[in-house]
A and B are shown apart, each in its own frame.
Chain A
Amino acid sequence: MRSSIKLSLSRSIIKLSLLAIIAAMFIISILSAVLPSSEDFHPSNPYWNGLEKFFKITNAKIFNGDIIPEKSILFIIGPSINYSSIDLKSFISNGGILIIMDEIGIANPLISDFGISIDGHFVIDAVFYYNNWKMPKLIERAIVLNLPSALKIDKGIKVLAYSSSFSFLDLNGDFEPQADEPKGPFPIIAEAPYGNGKIIVISDSSIFLNDLIDFNRKLLEDLISNREVFVDTSVWPLSLPSAYKAIVLKIYEFFSAPELKYSLALLIVILIYYYTSNYTSKEKQKEIDEIEELLKKHPNWNEKLLKAIKEARDKIE
């Protein structure tokens, strides 16, 4: 008796836990889809380090390989992992504009063929800056940077913007100028033509973040002109919440297809019908059980008559 009670209790706990997990996952899925991300460069991140404003201003699309080079400008912003699978050189030579924004030097294997490379050390400016030396200002073009690096360029490469002569390359990472640290001006934005297109390298991935884009909007408009903007998001590592959000959104997108949407609606209607009809049949079962119980007590009673009486009673009820 005790063991059967224990078994039924543990069954109901498992059922409840499963129900709780499903309910929680459902709520989390909705929340994760609705709540904004706080990750670096995330297109839906509305905080200081997101690219929400950038995506809104430029009407940018996430790059998935479908691109017409002559009409497009592709941004690779702050790459941390492998570049996109497409042949970027052929994209540029076919008339595309590629913008590489990196201060670490991860993009160097890609851009070195064009005669440009990123130093990797931060450029600090102790005179021309915004609020803190870590955010140098390019006074000629009124561009505000955020922990930029310097570009190393080959002869013939066109430099579009330099840092000030008061800037210095922070070799030891203390954000303070030292006597042995190289002094500016350093190239910050450079352009190299290739085929029918060009590559523009900016040694700062942060200039179009939500908190800085208003300062640098003119530069952005100059860069994109009338082209369609694509951003390669595959170069950013995905955190677990972001990956989950992406999956949720993908599922949502998948179920937005007409056939799935309407099938799902139909399925829900069927399920509701099934469960309600099942409930009614259970009720009927219960009634049958009542007669069975009675017959157990009185085996010599007539079952058909009992059923008839039951029916008659139901009619009265």
Chain B
Amino acid sequence: MKWLLFGTIVGIIAIILIAQFWPTITPIVRHVNPKAEIERLPLPSYMMTLVLNPFNSLIMRNYTAVENEIKILSQAYIPDRYKFIIDRFNNLLSNISNFLAETEDFINKAEELIYFGSYDDAKELLMEASFKLTLANITYLELKAASEELAKSFNLPLIEIKDRLNKIAKIIELLYEKIMNLLKSIEKQKILKDSFIIIDVQPRKIWTGGNIEIEGRLYAEDHPLSGKIVQIYLDGIKFTEALTLEEGIFKIKLNIPYIYKPKISIQARYIPYEDQPYKPSSSNIIEVELIYIEPRIIIDVIGDIIPGKSFLIKGIIENAGPYDYINISWAGLIMPIALQNGKFSSYLKAPLAEGLYPLKIEAPSHEIYAPAQKIVYIKVNKLPLNVKVIFPSLVVAGFPSNIEVLYEGEKLNIKAIFAGQVYSSSGNLSISAPLTALSGYYNCEVYISSHPWYKELYLKESILIINPLTLFPPILIIAFTIRAFKNKEKFIETIEVPKETIKKIEERSFISSSLKWLIELYWRAVSIISKLTGIEIKPSMTMREYLALIKLDALKKFFEILTIAAEKALYSKKISNEELNSARKAFEELNKA
């Protein structure tokens, strides 16, 4: 039976567990197990596009784009076993792009130097360019091998990659040719005559927007160069041209634009045409000091800046120009503000979110008045809510309790969640626990908000719920138990028999003294029988039961007579003299045995 019980339990548990862990049949497929999915290589046609993109950018000599394309390529899914292939390819492609970019940069600078006649410096740069191009060429050879490996690993068509590689080789060739041509042109220009140019500027200090006069002379080693065009550069930017007259002298009056910087540089340059047998030349640089008025903005933000509320800004512009407005940029808006006697003031609205916001004030430029700008960062802070919340420490289910909200002035929006119920109020909150709630600690969440310029307040407190309704049954059980125990004790008390009565019963239960000898005889007979048979009388046995156990036929007869007599003496009291005699004889017979 025990095994049956065990088997049944195990069987039921097994069935339920199998049901528990049996895969749930879900008709909707929403996802796949990431670890169970077979790894897949990127689609070759798409991968090809991704690989060709940096090549194409390189061929178009958009070196910045090459870097971006490589970055995108490196984000494609590459299995770990192929990572080194793609990394090598990307590195080589990036290197070749950098080398070609540097080569082109050197060539461009060299060209500029040649233009201005710095042949030695240009030559040096061209040598650098040549070195970088050599590195690019070596990298190209490595890239060729890496591309083949890449194509093989990702099943990409090699023809298109080879086509791009050939185009890169062509670029290297072209750049090499360009370097050689530039070097040749340097050698060719070395045989040209040197030219010289000197200038003087008057006055050296003027108000911005004022006039200056530039006078200069252009000449070769042994003769002046007249009828030549000289370019005038203002702060490195070509500003105007002048024609050399007799003796190579040129003179020009310049109206300086309104520039608001302390100094500007003036230089003249001579760039000969190809048919002219002179080298280009640059003049000395003359610095001209500019005078202008710099306005100064002073701004004052009045009061606290709180979300959603307007605030006042006041300011003054010292040395302001004859303009009547300034521009203010605030919270993404640019607005003109009127200027009165160099003073301004305006109300601005603070954004609803807290944070640090820039306020930019711009005064425009006007002739000798330079523009002015000032940026101040304004901190928008919400005000703390001056609210005190007093939670009840205990709530009796079914009876309302108050959450006291002490505050001054402001209109509040109070929300609370307690024991599965949502409360809202604008002042004190009356909360209550439903009668279905069991006793215990419950969280009470309170969220207090007010105007947008006040910080929200979020509080959480544990409140004890005592539910008399749910407490009643256990109290009832306890009461019944106590009562039951008390009743039992009473019952025990009532059935307690006085000792005297027990004594009486005991006395009554024993045989009269005249028959005691018979009982003694019986017990002696029992002792004899037990010795002969080895069967001992147990306290639980009746005289008859013991007699029934005795199998000695010869003696059983005597023991039976003695037993019956003893029984009668004990329980019946009605015993004849004959029976007593028979009992005595029976014992004698037993004693002989």
- Whether B571 contacts A316 by the Cβ 8 Å rule is no
- Whether A139 contacts B572 by the Cβ 8 Å rule is no
Are A266 and B478 also in contact (CB < 8 A) when A17-B8, A317-B539 are?
yes
With both beta carbons as reference points, the residue of chain A lying nearest to B484 in the complex is identified as A270
Q: Which residues of B lie under 8 Å from residue A294 when comparing CB positions?
A: 542
- Whether B35 contacts A127 by the Cβ 8 Å rule is no
- Whether B477 contacts A128 by the Cβ 8 Å rule is no
- Whether B440 contacts A257 by the Cβ 8 Å rule is yes
Q: Which residues of B lie under 8 Å from residue A147 when comparing CB positions?
A: 29-32
Q: Scoring B residues 1 to 26 as 1 if CB is less than 8 Å from chain A, else 0, what string do you get?
A: 10011001100110011011101101
| A60 on interface, CB distance cutoff 8 Å | no
- Whether B5 contacts A19 by the Cβ 8 Å rule is yes
A260 to B31, CA, bound (A): 43
Q: Which residues of A lie under 8 Å from residue B5 when comparing CB positions?
A: 16, 19-20
- Whether B422 contacts A24 by the Cβ 8 Å rule is no
Are A259 and B471 also in contact (CB < 8 A) when A24-B8, A128-B77 are?
yes
How far apart are B428's CB and chain A's nearest CB, in angstroms? 18
| B447 on interface, CB distance cutoff 8 Å | yes
Are A262 and B32 also in contact (CB < 8 A) when A16-B1, A20-B9, A177-B43 are?
no
- Whether A135 contacts B32 by the Cβ 8 Å rule is yes
- Whether B438 contacts A146 by the Cβ 8 Å rule is no
The A/B interface has a contact count, at CB < 8 Å, of: 186
Which residues of A from 247 to 304 have beta carbons under 8 Å from B? 254, 256-260, 262-263, 266-267, 270, 294, 297-298, 300-302, 304
| B202 on interface, CB distance cutoff 8 Å | no
How far apart are B86's CB and chain A's nearest CB, in angstroms? 12
| A130 on interface, CB distance cutoff 8 Å | yes
| A32 on interface, CB distance cutoff 8 Å | yes
Query: Which of A65, A137, A258, A263 meets B477, CB within 8 Å?
Result: A263
- Whether B37 contacts A131 by the Cβ 8 Å rule is yes
Q: Scoring B residues 456 to 495 as 1 if CB is less than 8 Å from chain A, else 0, what string do you get?
A: 1010000000010011011001100100000000000000
Are A259 and B467 also in contact (CB < 8 A) when A147-B29, A147-B30 are?
yes
Of the listed residues A66, A78, A212, A239, the one surrounded by the most CB atoms of chain B closer than 10 A to its CB is: A66
- Whether B20 contacts A32 by the Cβ 8 Å rule is yes
A70 to B438, CA, bound (A): 29
A302 to B31, CA, bound (A): 88
Query: Which of B1, B20, B506 meets A35, CB within 8 Å?
Result: B20
A186 to B424, CA, bound (A): 43
Of the listed residues A28, A126, A266, the one surrounded by the most CB atoms of chain B closer than 10 A to its CB is: A126
What 9 additional pairs, Cβ within 8 angstroms, besides A21-B8, A146-B34? A16-B5, A25-B12, A66-B422, A128-B76, A130-B77, A131-B77, A259-B471, A298-B571, A302-B571
Contact sample, A vs B, 9 pairs, CB 8 Å cutoff: A16-B4, A20-B12, A24-B13, A38-B24, A128-B76, A166-B46, A256-B440, A266-B478, A317-B539
Residues of B at the A interface (CB closer than 8 Å) are 1, 4-5, 8-9, 12-13, 16-17, 19-21, 23-24, 26, 28-35, 37-40, 42-43, 46-47, 49-50, 72, 75-77, 415, 417, 420-422, 438-440, 445, 447, 449, 456, 458, 467, 470-471, 473-474, 477-478, 481, 505-506, 508-509, 539-540, 542, 544, 571-572
10 smallest beta-carbon distances between A and B, as pairs: A257-B438, A24-B12, A20-B8, A126-B43, A263-B474, A206-B31, A132-B37, A146-B31, A241-B20, A66-B417
